[in-house]
Chains A and B, each alone.
Chain A
């Protein structure tokens, strides 16, 4: 149960049940679809970007607890920040999820996002956690097509 508890921590269960920044963003000037074809998770990310700053960010879609909580915590971390901050978070999050399960996690930089370190014990679930981040990256780059985890 310990590995499982590490994966499904209370903060994650809470964000799954009550996701922050959920729903369509009417004045979005960037938006992006993300899709994990292996499990059917779908995510639509909306951003309102002004110059270098992410003024607002919201998401909607259907997915498992991990992808929902990841999208929720991601939007909470990025809202009001700069695009450079978002890129730095992406790099840190990516480095964490692709590291070995016993590698140390930089909680100072990642903050609450560090709870997703638990997915490293469950290789099939890593993409659930990273889908929102890949979708974000595509949104910032302005790619038109749906991004997929494959």
Chain B
């Protein structure tokens, strides 16, 4: 049998049976909370973990545990091979040009701090400017403020419109010869808005500025290609993409990583040490002082394999359909106001209700076994922009279903019932 010529493969979303199979891979989804089946809608905070990821951790600690890059013994060599294989796998996952561009870190926050303190202190000085979007998570604000305090650089904020959309024209006006770096989210954690990172990068590069993209909320939801995006740095966390906590990735262009000073000193990152002088290893090891999170790296590889087995385009398509359904469902509930209605979006819905404060919404939904996030989502400037002290946030993953959205709607009607 041969494929019919001239036809493109047709991408289809996931059908309910496939989603049901996916759900069975996640032991946590079988839990009962407050005597109700768990409805987990807090995936932007952290996702649940599939068995393959859990087994990868278990396999390493039960049969493969050894340190990497040092021992000549069998287990150490095996661990080194597996650790570097995970790096190569992550390189392919985001289409980086070279595994040396993948630096293992604790998570997105550490990745951004690394760039601020290493690249930033070397290349950003007094009077220089750093552009952030108004949608940033505190992790993509505070490290830059710390850098500004150290160097005398200043932060400029690219605004968003009333739908939460990045305003390209306003951003263009902020760019100038003092702009050294533009740091933006790929997708907003508070609203879900996807930023036009490729267009942002093109414009920044015209002024010779570097571009860091915070990919924490994007990487397990939409396809990511760092070369096509043409960013200089891309940061993401394992635990928001079905992997474990305490591991993440900083992608950096190799030429940049080579010129950057180390972030932390210690073992693993050196070539030779005397009391007079130390020479550093090449990237990525230059930035990986100390024994790394080896089990985490192996589990990250399992997480990436899991995502790619579903297929990122199909996954994105399914999540988008679910987002549309959830948006329509919430809009039909009296007194619900959505914050951030622009498109495209990842599966995040932020909302407030006339009847109740977000924290009270969260507590009542919790009594129904429904987990959502309430508060400022570590993005207080976003809350200020939309004039609310806090929101309730529903965030989706590939294992969520329409039935769960219906359960959420029932829970929200109960909120109204309690408070009116």
Chain A residues packing against B (C-beta within 8 Å): 1, 3-4, 7-8, 13, 16, 38-42, 62-66, 122, 124-125, 128
Is there an interface contact between A41 and B389, defined as CB atoms closer than 8 Å? Answer: yes
Q: How far is the CA of A62 from the CA of B358 in the complex (A)?
A: 12
Q: How far is the CA of A16 from the CA of B418 in the complex (A)?
A: 12
Partner of B357, one of A3, A7, A13, A65: A65
Most chain A C-beta atoms within 10 Å of own C-beta, residue among B360, B367, B383, B389: B360
Closest CB-CB distance, A35 to chain B, in whole Å?
Answer: 10
Is there an interface contact between A7 and B363, defined as CB atoms closer than 8 Å? Answer: yes
Give the chain B neighbours of A65 by CB distance below 8 A.
Answer: 356-357, 360, 419
The closest CB in chain B to the CB of A61 belongs to: B389
Q: A40-B390, A41-B389, A65-B419 are in contact. Are A1 and B357 (CB under 8 A)?
A: no
Is there an interface contact between B363 and A4, defined as CB atoms closer than 8 Å? Answer: yes
Q: How far is the CA of A63 from the CA of B380 in the complex (A)?
A: 15
8 closest cross-chain pairs (CB), A and B: A64-B357, A64-B359, A40-B389, A40-B390, A4-B367, A65-B360, A39-B375, A40-B376
Q: A8-B418, A62-B389, A65-B356 are in contact. Are A122 and B376 (CB under 8 A)?
A: no
Is there an interface contact between A125 and B363, defined as CB atoms closer than 8 Å? Answer: yes
The closest CB in chain B to the CB of A4 belongs to: B367
Is there an interface contact between B359 and A39, defined as CB atoms closer than 8 Å? Answer: yes
Interface residues of B in 18-34 (CB under 8 A from A): none
Give the chain B neighbours of A128 by CB distance below 8 A.
Answer: 359
Contacts A8-B360, A64-B358, A66-B360 known; 8 new A-B pairs at CB < 8 A: A1-B367, A4-B418, A39-B359, A42-B389, A64-B356, A64-B357, A64-B359, A65-B419
What are 27 A-B pairs at a CB distance below 8 A?
A: A3-B367, A4-B363, A4-B367, A4-B418, A8-B360, A13-B418, A13-B419, A39-B358, A39-B359, A40-B375, A40-B389, A40-B390, A41-B359, A41-B389, A62-B389, A63-B357, A64-B356, A64-B357, A64-B360, A65-B356, A65-B357, A65-B360, A65-B419, A122-B363, A124-B363, A125-B359, A125-B363
